[in-house]
Each structure stands twice: as structure tokens, then as C-alpha cells.
A and B are shown apart, each in its own frame.
Chain A
Amino acid sequence: MRHVISILVQNKFGVLARISGLISARGFNIDSLTVGETEEPKTSRMIIVVHGDDPVIEQIIKQLRRLIETIRVTDLAEGRFVERDLMLAKIEATPAKRLEILQIANVFGAKIVDMTAREIILELSGEVGRIDALIGILKPYGIKELARTGSVALSRGPIAPASSAAPGSAPAGVNTL
């Protein structure tokens, strides 16, 4: 199952290396990792997208929580959340194909951020599936270069209390801290 894990960390030197090092050292495979400052400059938020069954996800979350610079780790898939990915795609666009591509961009609500005689750069932010769909449609036209950010995400509604489950109380398969 796909999980979107949100990690709040102290914004310190080497913290990204710590997280990515942990993930590789423990043999976990992740789909994407994003990182950026939050509303509080001393903390950063990382979003990890990972596929795995429950025991694997439980271990990843527990290992992340073990890091000293980790403040909070949440599996967003446990509640409602918004998730966005940003894509930039450089498409081959000869004058003959240009209009077609612009129409496709329009349907998806993608922005044109650059246009030359032979290429167009499209920008789209949205749900991962929507971006995948646009890429699929653009492929036959010739995608010269593609860049994606990976997912950023936030839970919907009020912020849950830091530690909802009492320590040690959770049964097997559920996260404990």
C-alpha cells in the first residue's frame, strides 16, 4: 500500500543525510522525498512516499522517530490529507504540433512557462495521478526533459495532538512511540 509520511525535523546540518542514510541503511525503498522549510524556520518538513505492507511501514516510522532530530512523524494515509506534485516538462513542439499541445495543456490546466520555435515547457502542479496522466498523453509528442518535485503534503483540518496513542498501548501492526 502507498503511504505518505510527513516528518517534521529540526532544521540542522546533515539532517537530510540522516534521513536518507537511515532509509538506505535499513533497506527501505522510497518513491520520493521532498524537503523544505516550514512556518517555523527552525524546522523542516520532509514528505516521503513509500510503498510497503504494514510491518514495513511500521518499522520505517519507528526508525524515523528514533532519530534525535526528528520532532514528529505522521503517516498521512491514516487520515485525510492533500498531496501535490509539481512537474516541468520540455515537449518537442514543431509549429505543426504546437496547437495540439497547447490544447492538451489547457485541458489539464497546465501553464506554459517557456516557448521556443521547437519546444514548449509546461508546468503542472496537482495530484500525482493527474501529472502521470498528462505525461502519458504528452509522451507521443516527444518529452525532451522532465523534472518532478515529488510529493508535498499536509493533513486536512486541525493539527492532531503530538502523541495521540499512549506509549506502548498499540497492538501489533499499529504505530507506537
Chain B
Amino acid sequence: MKGAEILEEALWREGVDIMFGYPGGASMEIHQALTRKDRIRVVLPRHEQGGGFAAQGFARATGKVGVALATSGPGATNLATPIADAKLDSIPMVAITGQVPTTVIGRDAFQECDVVGFSRTLTKHNYMVTDINDLARVVKEAFHIARTGRPGPVLIDIPKNVQQSYAIPNFNEPMDIPGYKPTSEPNPAQIRAAAQAIMESERPVLYIGGGCIHSDASEVLIKLAEKCDIPAVSTIMGIGAFPARHPLFFDMLGMHGAVYANYAVSRADLLIAAGVRFDDRVTGKVSEFARHGKIIHIDVDASEINKNKPVQIPIVADARLALDAILAQVKPAQHRAWVADIEAEKKKLPFRYDTNASEILPQYVLDELNNLIEGKNVIVTMGVGQHQMWAAQWLRMHQPRTFMSSSGLGSMGFGYPSALGAKLARPDYEVIDVDGDGSFIMNIQELATAYAENIAVKALILNNRHLGMVVQWEDRFYESKRAQTFIGDPRNPEKDYPDFAGIAKACNIPGRHVTRKTDVRAALEEMLAAKTPYVLDVSVMYTEHVLPMIPAGKTFADTIYE
């Protein structure tokens, strides 16, 4: 078999039936092989970054490995952002890049770039296949590494002559990764210690994150919370793992998290941290974070233990298996007064906005959207910035794998392409990209992909003509001096620019531009009713700030409320 055919067969054997690939000189051999076999659907994005994020959207929606393919040089460097993004959010992904022939590697050939070199620290692992006889085994290892332990991106760089040479593949060759033995089963002694701590605790809090979604821990989380009457808070990565309306759920914590969520953590005498990494956007000043209590830290990656925050009870294990084991050992408990305390705080300081404002506030749009989609089979993706935080605050998600955000790397432009991948993975779900105008324009070319490939995703743009989050920081910390944060029309600053509905129309996608509050609801309904891709551009006030806010490096006591 030809190298490219071995790759196709190996991908098929890994269960790949859809992937995202943008061809070029060094990768077209692979595209030819994929097209000849015609069993794996290859979606053509309009930019490699879009392809990479689409692969991520696919992976985030399913837990399966997302696959992106690009050519050498610029094709590969354009994949760098989605790869780094997948690493920080622990998303299983395999990136395949064509490379110049081995005979010219190192000679600055056309479209040559040291891909394994630059991607070394962006990936969980990477390969350059220089011997065709390694190809089948390397693909097997790559998928295994991407999906096991702490999931992450793996890159395979394949020189063109390897794609074109012939060999008799052995798809059953054992993997050669003797040092890779991810832990999944928890240590019984640590489980006993954790169960004991939970039973002794008077003010426990569950602090849940993306690891709970990766390990499908939702069910056991709810059971544990109910059995021991433990309030739960979530990172942005954990949204959906715990049903939003559950009486024990107290929303997102952190910099723009709920006051009552941060209050709960600051007062807790025991923090059960499951599949989280004590990110600075969650903890603020890390030494002050949850300082009144013990911490149980469950993570499948041993290096997360004590990395940012020293903990008393580390459990290196799959979150679901660890929580299952703890659940079996704890006795039912009641913490009514503690839960009531947090509820009182919630009544006092809920998320809020001026519902009577005559202008369209971004929170209002999301609140209305939530009224229309809550409880339905909906996946929401988003870009990065204010709209992302408002989405986390106002959209009430009830299922895991339905809220997708570039959380760790914070890549603008994530929303629309990842929505495409999610929709392909879950065609039965309504998929909505809630985006900002800045983020949307970063991968706006993917509108053409949506049309060409018939992917009926919806884009809701909260258009404030500014880079809102930076504007907010300018307002708070830089005396409102605008420094390249206006992205509207300099000659007509009040008017929305560019005309997103017009761009959509040029891509044969219906769209609508809304400037009056009274039109918002009907426009949202129209968007949701569409059976095709749809772009809804809503003009919103740019002066709104995401609140509450704990400034970077500060503590709960420093929360800004107004």
C-alpha cells in the first residue's frame, strides 16, 4: 500500500468517519487517498485554523478524537492555535500535517517549517514519520495518547515521500510507548481519606471542571452532591456537567463568576476539586483561594497536584472513577444551614442587568435566547471576551458537552468553526455560536464552509463595535483611554460595521441585522426556526461591563459589583 493509503486505513480503523482538511502540495497525496476510498468525510474549511477548531468542536461534542489535516509550512503553522487550544482545554485531537520530502528537510524548501519543533510544547506528543513502516503504529499510538489519561492534541508530521512510498503495513504491530501508563483507578487509601473529610465537613463545596466532562462524571457528581447535600460550583470548562437549575448548583466561580459561588468557596471548610486545575482566572490570588478549608484534588494528571495550589488530599485518578469510589464510602449528610447561607447570598447578589434599559444590552439578548433554548437539545459555542462571560452567566445548560468555550488559551475566533464541528457531530442538536463581532470576524471565512457543506449552525453576534473585554479593562484600569479597541467604522462610529448579514448573504446564508430591542425576540425566533445556517447580528451597547469582577491577582474581598 501507498503511505497515504496506509494512513487512510489506519484512520478508518481508529473510527474516524469525519475529518477537516485543507489540501496543499505536501498533503494532497493524503487527500487523494481519502477521496479514492470515499468512506471518511473530509470537510474543507476555508482556513486551517477553522479546520482545527472544527475538529475540536467535533471532539468536545462527542469525546471522540477530532482530526484535522493540513499541508506543510503555513498549513501547519495555521493549525498551531487550535492545537495549543486543545492542549490547554485537554481536548482529544489528532493533527496531521504534510511535510516536504525527507530528502530536502532542513534545506528551507518551499513551504518547509520545523513542525515537530514548534509544536513540541503545544502538543501532548508529536511525531515525524520518516519510515513508512512506522506509519500504522504511529497513528495507533497517536489516537491512544490523544484520548487516554488527560486527553490532548497529538500531531503527526508526514513527509511527502513517505506518503508516496509503498510498504506492506502491519496494523497489528504493538504500540511502543513503554513509559506511557496513565493512571485511572484511584488509590483506596486516598479515597478513604477523602470520604472521611467529606463526612467531617460542615461547609463542603464541589468545585467541578472540564475533567468531569471528559470523564463523563455528571451522574456521579449529582449523586454525591445529593447524598451529602453538597453545593456545587463550576469552572467555565465544567458548565453542563451539573444541571444549571439543580437546587445544589451555584453557577460559575472565578473572576466573572457568581458572587455566591465565590462566597461559597471562600467560606468552605472543604473543597472537593474535581477535574480542575486552579487556573488563575478561577482563583485570583491563589494563596487566599479557599484558605479556610482542606482541599481534595482529583485529577488524572499527577502534575496538576500541587502545581498551582498545595492540597491536603490528592487523588490521581479519572474523576468519575474517583467520585464513584467516594460515593460508595460516604454516608448521607445534611448541610441545610450551609446551603441556605449560599442561597441567601444568591438572593442578595444574583447576576443582574438593567432589564428596563431602552437600548439592547448584551445580557438581555442572552437572557431572551436562554428563554427560547433552555432545556432543549442545544449546543452553544462562543468566542472569547465579554460575550463569552455573559454566555457563561446567562445561558442555563443542563447537559455535558453542550457548552464549548476556548477557556484556557482564550482563542478569539473559536466560536464559529467549533460550532461547525459540533453540528456535524450532533446533527440532532441546535448549534449556536454566541459570538462577539471581534471574535466572529477572526474566522468569518467559515461561513463559506457552512454553506458549501450544508452545516446549519446559527451565529448570534453581539455586536458592540469594540473589543469589549479590553474596553472594560481600559475603563477600569486605563482611564477609559481607547487603544486600538474600536473595530467599527471610524467614519461612522455609531453604525455597525461591517455588515455581517450582508457578508452572510454574499455566502448564500440568510441573516438579519437588529438594532431595536423590540425586534430581538422575533429575530431570535427566526434564527432558531431556520433550517439553514443563519447569521443574526444584534447591535448592543458597548458600555456594559461584565460584572461581578475580581481583578486579576485579587481576592473575593476585592470583588467589583458596580
Looking at the complex, which one of B125, B128, B317 makes contact with A167 (CB distance below 8 Å)? B317
Q: What's the least CB distance linking A125 to chain B, in Å? A: 30
* Contact A166 B179, beta carbon cutoff 8 Å: no
CA A24 to CA B385, docked complex, whole Å: 30
* Contact A169 B311, beta carbon cutoff 8 Å: no
Known: A168-B316, A169-B190, A173-B306. A68 touches B180 (CB 8 A): yes
Q: What's the least CB distance linking A59 to chain B, in Å? A: 6
B347 at the interface (CB under 8 A from A): no
CB-nearest residue of chain A relative to B295?
A: A172
Looking at the complex, which one of B190, B301, B311 makes contact with A172 (CB distance below 8 Å)? B311
B33 at the interface (CB under 8 A from A): no
* Contact A68 B307, beta carbon cutoff 8 Å: no
Q: What's the least CB distance linking A166 to chain B, in Å? A: 5
Known: A170-B314, A172-B312, A172-B314. A65 touches B189 (CB 8 A): no
Q: What's the least CB distance linking A177 to chain B, in Å? A: 5
A72 at the interface (CB under 8 A from B): yes
- Contact string against A for B residues 417-446, beta-carbon threshold 8 Å, 1 for contact and 0 otherwise: 000000000000000000000000000000
Q: Using Cβ atoms and an 8 Å threshold, which residues of chain A touch B307?
A: 59, 62
- Contact string against A for B residues 296-339, beta-carbon threshold 8 Å, 1 for contact and 0 otherwise: 00000111011100111011110000000000000000000000
Q: Which of A12-20, A28-36, A111-119, A133-141 contacts B (4 or more CB under 8 A)?
A: A12-20
Looking at the complex, which one of B121, B124, B315 makes contact with A22 (CB distance below 8 Å)? B121
Q: What's the least CB distance linking B127 to chain A, in Å? A: 9
Known: A17-B120, A167-B316, A177-B302. A69 touches B179 (CB 8 A): yes
* Contact A68 B303, beta carbon cutoff 8 Å: no
B145 at the interface (CB under 8 A from A): yes
CA A72 to CA B179, docked complex, whole Å: 7
Q: Using Cβ atoms and an 8 Å threshold, which residues of chain A touch B180?
A: 68
CB-nearest residue of chain A relative to B150?
A: A66
Looking at the complex, which one of B187, B301, B306 makes contact with A169 (CB distance below 8 Å)? B187
- Contact string against A for B residues 97-138, beta-carbon threshold 8 Å, 1 for contact and 0 otherwise: 000000000000000000011001100110010100000000
A55 at the interface (CB under 8 A from B): yes
We find that the number of chain B residues with CB closer than 8 angstroms to chain A is 33
A25 at the interface (CB under 8 A from B): yes
CB-nearest residue of chain A relative to B124?
A: A68
CB-nearest residue of chain A relative to B312?
A: A172
A70 at the interface (CB under 8 A from B): yes
Q: What's the least CB distance linking A53 to chain B, in Å? A: 12
Looking at the complex, which one of A58, A63, A71 makes contact with B179 (CB distance below 8 Å)? A71
A21 at the interface (CB under 8 A from B): yes
A155 at the interface (CB under 8 A from B): no
* Contact A10 B179, beta carbon cutoff 8 Å: yes
CB-nearest residue of chain B relative to A60?
A: B303
Q: Give the secondary structure class of B's interface.
A: loop
Looking at the complex, which one of A68, A72, A170 makes contact with B125 (CB distance below 8 Å)? A68
Looking at the complex, which one of B116, B306, B315 makes contact with A168 (CB distance below 8 Å)? B315
* Contact B125 A177, beta carbon cutoff 8 Å: no
CA A96 to CA B45, docked complex, whole Å: 78
* Contact A21 B303, beta carbon cutoff 8 Å: no
Most central of B176, B179, B312, B315 by chain A CB within 10 Å:
B179
Q: What's the least CB distance linking B334 to chain A, in Å? A: 29
Q: Using Cβ atoms and an 8 Å threshold, which residues of chain A touch B305?
A: 62, 176
Looking at the complex, which one of B121, B190, B317 makes contact with A21 (CB distance below 8 Å)? B121
CB-nearest residue of chain B relative to A26?
A: B121
Q: Using Cβ atoms and an 8 Å threshold, which residues of chain B touch A18?
A: 120
Known: A21-B121, A168-B315, A169-B190. A177 touches B183 (CB 8 A): yes
Q: Give B18-62 interface residues, CB cut-off 8 Å to A.
A: none
Known: A14-B120, A18-B120, A166-B187. A172 touches B317 (CB 8 A): no
Most central of A8, A71, A172 by chain B CB within 10 Å:
A172
* Contact A65 B311, beta carbon cutoff 8 Å: no
Q: Using Cβ atoms and an 8 Å threshold, which residues of chain A touch B117?
A: 17
B490 at the interface (CB under 8 A from A): no
Q: Give B166-217 interface residues, CB cut-off 8 Å to A.
A: 176-180, 183, 185-187, 189-190
* Contact A25 B121, beta carbon cutoff 8 Å: yes
* Contact A68 B177, beta carbon cutoff 8 Å: yes
Q: Which residues of B contact A (CB under 8 A)?
A: 116-117, 120-121, 124-125, 128, 130, 145, 176-180, 183, 185-187, 189-190, 301-303, 305-307, 310-312, 314-317
The 8 lowest CB-CB distance pairs between A and B, nearest first, are A62-B303, A168-B316, A71-B179, A168-B187, A68-B125, A167-B183, A25-B121, A169-B187
Besides the known contacts A167-B316, A169-B190, 15 further A-B residue pairs in the complex with CB atoms under 8 A apart:
A10-B178, A13-B128, A14-B128, A17-B117, A22-B121, A59-B303, A62-B303, A68-B125, A68-B145, A166-B187, A167-B317, A168-B187, A168-B190, A169-B187, A172-B306
User: Could you show 11 A-B contacts with beta carbons less than 8 Å apart?
Assistant: A59-B306, A66-B302, A67-B179, A69-B177, A69-B179, A167-B185, A168-B190, A168-B302, A169-B189, A170-B314, A177-B302
